[in-house]
Chains A and B, each alone.
Chain A
């Protein structure tokens, strides 16, 4: 299975972190359900064009935090995650996206009021759909 992961070489966030966060987000949003089998470290490394050292690190962290489980000879699977935990991750993912957007706005010297205006405008447009 190919995971919908997109890496950015230009991000400050290390590659192994990017992989970790995106898999967490896929699990939290329900796109990867508990029990789903994940690609092997080697296969994912080839798809994402990264070293197995990087992918192994991401999988190890995800396993330590209880998001995935590896069983000898069978492969790696999505673990059961509590609903409250999922909610927390969702919240983190969305917060992070806003933080990034706000960073960009600050780089362009926008004020808080102006940023709020932009967000309101976008929400209004979305509401019309």
Chain B
């Protein structure tokens, strides 16, 4: 596996919250989407990778370099935080100049295409733009950096549907060369559907799953039984709801029913959205 980012026993302890210890590996060529409730630790993890939060213990490697040992890796990464601190007093032209200077592979053509497609008023000061416009400008300023790694914390926050579709197109184009690494943290199921290859599920500071999107969507099957539900817990049973049972072991579940002369009149695998919601609640 070609991991571009790896954490080893990464831990961040705060008064009311502990992240980790986490061993996460992010592969290149893929889009990894971090999902989880607010406060699950997604942003803290991403900030730790960007060296904006100091871990309590453990280490982080980016492109085989321990991030505390050199600063060179920073030029290889583009990061979109949720709070765009420091942008306020500048207009789009000024921000472009400041940021383009820092990144040797800055893609000015892509930047201007996004400014055009998203109708971003570059002469307006950042703090006087609407939240949606601020997000689009910040995205354009991040995606155009020409880096091999990009981390976007809530990329589609505040932006309208049409702009979001442009974002999906641009990000999949950005991934086209097959070597780049994109990490997003998101609450939007559409971001996950359209962009994600790997889904990393975070719950209460822990990583509870990290799997290929299409395999993850096969995790749970729901069966509606004919006749009364048996009293005992069935193979792989994770939940009962009225006449139905959800299992994560459909093969042994069906075998059990056949052996006990029970049948079902409907079976469905849970949708990706329901699977994620379910994983985060059980």
Which residues on A are within 8 Å of B, measured CB to CB?
A: 9-10, 15, 40, 42-43, 45-46, 49-54
B197 touches A49 (CB 8 A): no
Q: Which 8 A-B pairs have the closest CB atoms?
A: A51-B197, A49-B193, A51-B213, A46-B172, A54-B214, A52-B197, A42-B172, A53-B212
B193 touches A45 (CB 8 A): no
A51 touches B196 (CB 8 A): yes
Kindly state the interface size class of chain B when it binds its partner: 20 to 34
Considering only residues 253-281 of chain B, those with a C-beta below 8 Å from chain A are 268-269, 271
CB distance from A55 to the nearest CB of B (A): 9
Given A9-B271, A43-B172, 13 new contacts (CB under 8 A):
A9-B217, A9-B269, A15-B214, A42-B172, A42-B178, A43-B176, A46-B195, A50-B214, A51-B30, A51-B197, A51-B212, A52-B31, A54-B214
Cα A42 to Cα B271 in complex, Å, equals: 22
Can you name 29 A-B residue pairings with CB atoms under 8 Å?
A9-B217, A9-B269, A9-B271, A10-B268, A42-B172, A42-B173, A42-B175, A43-B172, A43-B176, A45-B172, A45-B197, A46-B169, A46-B172, A46-B194, A49-B193, A49-B194, A50-B213, A51-B30, A51-B198, A51-B212, A51-B213, A51-B214, A52-B29, A52-B30, A52-B31, A52-B197, A53-B30, A53-B197, A54-B212
A42 touches B176 (CB 8 A): yes
Could you tell me the dominant secondary structure of chain B's interface residues?
A: mixed
Residues of chain B lying within 8 A (CB to CB) of residue A10: 268-269
Cα A46 to Cα B171 in complex, Å, equals: 10
B118 at the interface (CB under 8 A from A): no
Considering only residues 197-246 of chain B, those with a C-beta below 8 Å from chain A are 197-198, 212-214, 217
Residues of chain A lying within 8 A (CB to CB) of residue B73: none
CB distance from B74 to the nearest CB of A (A): 26
Could you tell me the dominant secondary structure of chain A's interface residues?
A: helix
Residues of chain B lying within 8 A (CB to CB) of residue A9: 217, 269, 271
Question: What per-residue 1/0 map shows which CB atoms of B166-196 lie under 8 Å from chain A?
Answer: 0011001101101000000000000001111
Residues of chain A lying within 8 A (CB to CB) of residue B175: 42
Residues of chain A lying within 8 A (CB to CB) of residue B217: 9
Residues of chain A lying within 8 A (CB to CB) of residue B194: 46, 49
CB distance from A31 to the nearest CB of B (A): 24
Cα A51 to Cα B214 in complex, Å, equals: 6
Nearest CB in chain A to that of B196: its residue: A51
Residues of chain A lying within 8 A (CB to CB) of residue B271: 9
Nearest CB in chain A to that of B195: its residue: A46
Cα A49 to Cα B196 in complex, Å, equals: 8
CB distance from B67 to the nearest CB of A (A): 27
Residues of chain B lying within 8 A (CB to CB) of residue A53: 30, 197, 212, 214
Residues of chain A lying within 8 A (CB to CB) of residue B169: 46
Residues of chain A lying within 8 A (CB to CB) of residue B31: 52
Cα A49 to Cα B172 in complex, Å, equals: 12
- Specify which of B31, B172, B212 lies most central, judged by the most chain A CB atoms within 10 Å of its CB: B172
